[in-house]
């Protein structure tokens, strides 16, 4: 009966203890972070809940002009330009793709032409040198 050594085990079985340990540490880290986040959220929202007896309808009624102004400014300065930009980018996307393919194809063909020309020059170059030497004599 032969015993299985660690070198004969499959790689997954060799890595399994480390994976289990990493999973335990990851779970504990996530649990700890969620507890701290909940505590922070509770400490931030406590003053808001302490103000609950205040009539919110009155506060919303008094802050309505500011809310409407903020909505208008958001629409004018952020949402509308974002929509216009997205529309413009949708319009020019086919041109962008066409020109991108043209540039990539041109670069590829240029590289091929350069390689062919270089090889052709090296193939012809020894003949040119021997012809020059013959003319100088």
Task: Give the model's pLDDT for residue 127.
Answer: 65
Residue spans of the domains in the chain: they are 8-53, 55-137
Task: Give the model's pLDDT for residue 135.
Answer: 67
Cβ contact 37:29 at 8 Å: no
The Cα-based distances of 97 to 8, 13, 84, 106, 108 in angstroms read 52, 47, 20, 14, 16
Task: Give the model's pLDDT for residue 1.
Answer: 47
Q: What is the Cα–Cα distance from 79 to 75, expressed in whole angstroms?
A: 5
Residues of the chain with pLDDT under 50: 1
Task: Give the model's pLDDT for residue 59.
Answer: 80
């Amino acid at each position: 009966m032969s015993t299985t050594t660690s070198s004969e085990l499959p790689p997954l079985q060799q890595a399994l203890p480390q994976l289990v340990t990493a999973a335990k540490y990851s779970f504990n880290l996530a649990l700890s972070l969620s507890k701290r986040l909940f505590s922070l959220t509770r400490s931030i929202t406590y003053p808001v809940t302490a103000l609950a007896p205040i009539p919110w309808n009155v506060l919303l009624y008094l802050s309505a002009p500011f809310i409407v102004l903020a909505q208008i400014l958001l629409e004018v300065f952020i949402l509308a330009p974002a929509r216009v930009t997205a529309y413009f980018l949708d319009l020019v996307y086919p041109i962008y793709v066409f020109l991108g393919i043209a540039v990539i194809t041109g670069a590829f063909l240029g590289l091929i032409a350069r390689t062919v020309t270089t090889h052709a020059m090296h193939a012809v170059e020894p003949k040119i040198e021997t012809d020059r030497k013959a003319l100088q004599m």
